[in-house]
Amino acid sequence: MKTSYKIRKTRSESGIALLIAIFVLLLISAVAISLVVSSGTESSLAGNYRTTLSASFAAEAGIEEARGRLVQSNPNPIALPLVAAPIAINYLPTDQVVYITNPAVGEPAGAGLMALYPDTEFDQEFNGAPTLAAATKTYVNSIWPLNNGPLYKWVRINAATKKSLKANVDNTGLAAPNATVPLYFDSGLIPARMIVPPAVGNVPGPVLQPTQKQIYEITALAVLPNNSQKLLQYVVAPVNFGLNFQGALTLGGQIGNFQGANSNQYRISGQDGSGSAPAVPGCTIPNPPTVNASIAVGPGLDTGNNSGLTNQAYVTNNLPRPDHYLGCSGSCGTPGVVVSPSVVSTVQTGSLSTPDSLDQLVQQLKANADVVMGPNPPVGPTYNNSGTTYNFGQSGPGYNWPSDMSASNPKVVFVDGSFDLGPNTGYGLLVVTGNFQYHGNSGWKGIILVVGDGTTTFLGNGGGNGEFDGAIFAATTRDASGNQLPNFGSVNFDINGGGGNGMYYNSCWINRVQQPPSYQILSFQER
């Protein structure tokens, strides 16, 4: 049999290779296209992010300008249109609005710029109480020159209310009558928080304390050349020293030695505004005036003289002329009858309550002082009154006395050591960490804090016609080695000689010299 063989022809594989090549090319193209698209998306996202960030920075620059210019020591301060109220400190009503306008080249300022970039946020916040159309608007210029500053258009400063912040801080609802009363921030509460003050109509009532300061909204609109916009808002309140005094003179803790002035003209009065201090613009002494103690002392027994008496009894017994120490008896800090002698035992509150809280206040005051007189380089509070004594008007290495100090320009002066006021009158808030000494014609308008080690002395010499208006507080916070005490130690007070340079409680000057060094941010939001 014949066997037949069949040989298969070899088929070409070129078609398969072509298909594979096409697939690979398509895959590469897809990857390339996706990379291009992804790159474009990332570029777009990055561009949007940069634009948003730039707008945010521009709005923040506007807000920080406003926050800085609210401080009256700023080179370009903003004078808010405050109005009188039944309290010692004037306030900003909700229908008063201040705008800082920042036009570009060719744009109008003031109301003209607001027409181009309207403020639609105000009416949304206040819901018609008040309306922006009915509000009184004040326009001020930005500090930035045209085309050379941040690209915000305007900044608004206005009073905050429960309604505007949607903050039911007193649990009475947002529709209650006090929803339109300006909010305050009380740094004396623990924890510090927003409050609705007692109201008379729609204005703050008559019992506000120095620890309670009005809250403002600062709102900024930024518009970039590509029309990207950002609306940013801060809710702010003044940084508050929170000093609230219960007498014209307060001696914290125990009394070491006390000697009142033996003068027919010398007086210490806790009745508000009873001295002859220059008036404080924008501040009115309550009518009828509140009555505080002439001298407030800490509770407990006198320890410096082993008398077995309370501090109150010991001080009262050492007043040569008790009828010259005028003030409250039982109901202190309210309008009332003036009695004598008015030496009241009281427990201090807030920053004046303990050596630790007072030391924190002292550090804050030092950080914000206009001048710090002390060792160079500074080493912090020494509380060492056996060291250097500094004098009124003195300048030295690392410090210069504020020569522009005046009734219209009070200063914060921190003396890291002892201080001799001499025959001079000062204005502001004075902190002395050692001995404090004054003379017959000495005077001070504002607050004096004498804190230091176990030999702290408040010493007055000679007669004269000076006068202290505001409040004075003396306490021992450290021992002789500079260690902080757990409780206030013994403090010495000695006034000798004649003269009429007495001490008079004055709420206007107490508040005047506690001007905020800055405004703290309570909250913020952006759109």
Give 184-224 pLDDT, tens digit per residue.
Answer: 998 777 788 898 887 655 666 655 676 788 999 999 999 98
The Cα 424–Cα 466 span in angstroms is 8
Q: pLDDT exceeding 70 applies to what percent of the chain?
A: 84
Give 18-39 pLDDT, tens digit per residue.
Answer: 788 888 888 887 877 777 766 6
DSSP for 312-361, please give it: HHHHHHT-SSGGGEEB-SSSTTEE---BSS-EEE----GGGSSHHHHHHH
Band of residue 53 on the pLDDT scale cut at 50, 70, 90: confident
DSSP for 190-240, please give it: SS-EEE---EETTEE-TT--TTEEE-EEEEEEEE-TT--EEEEEEEEEE--
Report the candidate in 127, 191, 196, 219 with the shortest Cα–Cα distance to residue 164: 127
CB 293 within 8 A of CB 331: no
Give the pLDDT of residue 454: 46
Report the candidate in 44, 73, 230, 74 with the shortest Cα–Cα distance to residue 150: 230
Band of residue 12 on the pLDDT scale cut at 50, 70, 90: low
The residue with tokens 């409780």 is: 487
Question: CA neighbours within 13 Å on the CB side: how many for 150?
Answer: 26
Query: Of residues 230 and 34, which shows the higher confidence score?
Result: 230
H or E element in which residue 371 lies: strand 371-373
Q: What angle do CA 272, 274, 275 make, to 5 degrees?
A: 120
**The dihedral formed by the CA atoms of 479, 484, 488 and 494, expressed in degrees to the nearest 10:** 40
The Cα 143–Cα 146 span in angstroms is 10
Q: Convert 279-309 into a string of H (helix), E (strand) and C (coil).
A: CCCCECCCCCCEECEEEEECCCECCCCCCCC
Band of residue 57 on the pLDDT scale cut at 50, 70, 90: very high
The residue with tokens 């130690």 is: 489
Phi, psi of 502 (to 5 degrees): -85, -170
Q: How far is CA 17 from CA 10, 25, 28, 316, in A?
A: 16, 12, 16, 114
The mean predicted confidence, pLDDT, of the chain is: 82
The Cα 234–Cα 240 span in angstroms is 18
Amino acid at 324: H
Give the pLDDT of residue 85: 61
pLDDT of residue 335 exceeding 70: yes
Q: What angle do CA 46, 47, 49 make, to 5 degrees?
A: 65
Report the candidate in 362, 445, 437 with the shortest Cα–Cα distance to residue 411: 445
Average pLDDT for 410-419: 89
CB 245 within 8 A of CB 466: no
- For the chain, give the longest Cα–Cα distance: 160
Give the pLDDT of residue 164: 93
List the single range of 83-97, 151-165, 258-272, 350-364 with lowest mean pLDDT. 83-97
pLDDT of residue 347 exceeding 60: yes
pLDDT of residue 88 exceeding 60: no
Average pLDDT for 478-505: 80
The residue with tokens 């193209």 is: 29
Sign of CA dihedral 321, 272, 406, 188: positive
Give the pLDDT of residue 115: 95
Q: Which residues pair with 504 in a beta bridge?
A: 269, 469
CB 423 within 8 A of CB 451: no
**Peptide bond preceding 191 in cis form (omega within 30 of 0):** yes
Separation of CA 27 from chain center: 66
pLDDT of residue 520 exceeding 60: yes
Give the pLDDT of residue 41: 60
Give the pLDDT of residue 363: 84
